[in-house]
Structure 1
Amino acid sequence: MDDDIVLEPAAQEFADATAVPPPLYELGVEGAREPLDEVQAGPAGKLDVDEKWITVAAGAGAGAGAGAGDVRVRIADPFGGTGVLPVAVDENDVLRDEGEAYARKLTRAGVAPTGIRYNATPHDFMMLNPVRATQASTAAIAQAVQVLREALGTA
């Protein structure tokens, strides 16, 4: 297995730009808020949905995020729609294994999600404006839009 982390060019540029010291964890909560707000300051189009946040116990899996604790998850409901439930994870995410385990738990519970792993991507690749134009982000957003269109009957 290849252990090198490979990112798409825009994602790599973002990673390089945010790798300038000091690291966020050394800034504390208040100090890290400003650079994080700056990264997300650009406009981003979003569809209107009913949403709720749930907490999923991450558990003690074998992945890099093992023992990470509970994870807050946003559930976007396209106004009572039904259909495919995608669970998208990114290759280079500390919680990737937990996301895939969550999809398996949903399957066991009878929900039958579609699990998708996007390679060459960092954490939050669908939400970070600097990596919005990458192939992975574009594909993931297009897939999410298609799922919503089908659920809303507008496909």
Structure 2
Amino acid sequence: MSEEQGAPEGGEQPQQGEQQEQPEQTFTQADVDKIVKERVGRERAKYADYDDLKTKAGEKQTVEERLAAMEKRATDAEVGRLRSDIAAEHGISKEDRDLFLTGADEDTLTAQAKRLAARESERKKQGNYVPNIGKNPKPSENDERAAVRGLFGSHD
């Protein structure tokens, strides 16, 4: 039916036995305050432990993070052991080992250790070399020097 034929707005037909108008219910401000307070209390009770759970979740590491940390520690320990073994094998001091052996795998560490040991061996063969040590070079003779020697009677 259309509006012209007398149908109510919204297209709904009232059912038999149903009241057409419901009486309007009124609330005082105290009633509204009480209803709101009860509702807020129920909602807060639902999420009362939210802050505790959030704090606990922030403190816990995920399984993946813990696994990654453990793998890193294991790798670091293995590289440290390798570094110590290779340094001992090539006669490298602890200080030089920590400073110069920086590789992360056996081949790299071995190459570094061999190179460092070779340099140390070369240094020991040559010793500390200072050119012209113990020699006093004779200064070149010039006119000013000759004049000063003549005045002061210095003879070299």
* Fold conserved between structures, TM > 0.5: no
In proportion to residue count, which structure has more strand? 1
Larger Rg over CA atoms: 2
TM-score by length of 2: 0.20
TM-score (norm 1): 0.20
Q: Pick 1 or 2: higher relative contact order, CA cutoff 8 A, min separation 6.
A: 1
Larger relative helix fraction:
2
